[in-house]
Amino acid sequence: MISIPTELEETRAAALLAVSPIRAADDTTKADAKFLFNAQRTQAGETLPAYFLVYFLLVDLLGFPNLGKFEKIAWSVPIDFNGRAFLIEHRKFGVGVFAHDASAEEDQARQIVALISSGVKVAGPFFEWLADRAAREGQLNVANRSRELYDRFEFFLAAHRRMAVEAGERARERRIEKREIKGGTLEIFHEPARELRRNARWLALATIDAFFSWTEHVFIHLAIITGAVTSGLEVAKLAESDWQTKFKQALDLKDPRTKSLFDDLVVIRRQLRNFLAHGAFGKRGEAFDFHSGAGAAPLLLPHQADKPRFALTDELAFEDAAAINVILGFIDHLWSGCREPARQYIQESELPLILTMAKDGSYGRAMRSVEDMEKLVEQLSYEWDRSVNMDW
């Protein structure tokens, strides 16, 4: 049982009442001599709330004893239900209620599940306080989906390139379809390259969108692994910020190459991705034509001083090759120099970012070289696998 604020004592009392008559097992509880080793999993136990909520309720809030780890068991809490011993355990195949005779004690197990579920509902304010405390103290892991997001980017990039190549190869291809109509013959000309070029443009837009999605994720992890942010609150604030703020937390704009790439990427993001994100209307009247003696004219005239470097056209086309070349150049730059070791952890390992390791300098030491980071990744991967398999 952990120390809690005074205002949560009522929650503790209400949770204890909600799970009654469940109580911590003691010397008066009836149990077979080898119950800890022979306990059987009940079917009812499969419907328990999430294992961590059960643990927080019974151990942290109500103070039930935890017997600790055993082979393939993460934690074990013996309980007394109407004088009879049961176990609430988190084993390799999930949390459950374990009994002396599972088939004969299913009804009791169902009652235990119902009571614990009620206790979990009542304990909501405690769970919120626990999570908030963990966030403030940096006792968090941050999910790492960098590889999957990058795979998405590469998928669209490869598809775009294939489509563009095919459009070039079929540039001279023409097909004439003749249809008999009243009064003569109608000839319809088909040019496959036109449709292929259009599809290639769409895929290029999807590629750019996937790139910015990936960087939004990677920049946060870079900020963690370099020690720029070390608490859950800082990570949450950064996650809510715009792309440019994330970029500046992860990379140093004092570096000329970084600054040049940043400027180009801001242009691409503003003129392409944001344009489409706002329903192809943009923010500066890109979708408007005004009435004139010359006919309809675009509201955003081409002579303006800040003419787009990656120009949009009537068909939502743009200089996709130039934009994608900037993106590829940035990716190479991102994982170069002092940031090269970070690639081993963020992009290759799929391990979560552990805020306590950012705070205690573990990541900082590993960032000294690729070899140091590879050692850390190998060690953590081994420990992660053992934890998943409950090999203590």
Indicate the domain borders of the chain. 6-137, 141-389
Decide the pairing of beta strands 289-290 and 175-181: unpaired
Query: What is each CA distance from 45 to 54, 59, 93, 94, 206, in whole angstroms?
Result: 12, 18, 12, 9, 45
Tell me what pLDDT residue 151 has.
96
Least confident of 166-180, 219-233, 348-362: 166-180
pLDDT for 259 beyond 90: yes
Instruction: Select from 96, 94, 90, 99 the least CA-distant residue to 31.
Output: 99
More confident residue, 122 or 140: 122
pLDDT single digits (tens) 21-46: 999 999 899 888 888 888 899 999 99
| CB atoms inside a 10 Å sphere around CB 5 | 11
Q: Is 43 helix (H, G, I), strand (E, B) or coil?
A: coil
Contact between 82 and 19 (Cβ < 8 Å): no
β-partners of residue 186 are 179
Neighbours of 151 (CB within 10 A): 11
Element (H, E) at 39: none
Q: Which two tokens stand for residue 307?
A: 């003419």
pLDDT at 156 over 80: yes
pTM above 0.75, yes or no: no
Percent of the chain's residues with pLDDT above 70:
88
What digits encode the pLDDT tens for the residues 334-386? 999 999 999 999 999 889 999 989 988 999 999 999 999 999 999 999 888 77
Torsion-angle region of 69 (φ positive above 0: left; ψ -120 to 50: alpha; else: beta): beta
- Whole-number mean pLDDT of the chain? 85
φ, ψ (nearest 5 deg) of residue 186: -100, 125
Q: What is the pLDDT of residue 305?
A: 41
254: CB partners within 8 A, 6+ apart? none
Q: Are 53 and 120 in contact (CB under 8 A)?
A: yes
Q: At what angle do helices 256-268 and 243-250 cross, to 10 degrees?
A: 160
What the block records as the tokens of 119 is 């206790």
Instruction: Report the pLDDT value the prediction gives residue 184, as an integer from 0 to 100.
Output: 75
- Which of the two residues, 122 and 71, has the higher pLDDT score? 122
**In the beta sheet, which residues pair with residue 209?**
none
Runs of H (alpha helix) within 226-287: 232-240, 243-250, 256-268, 274-277
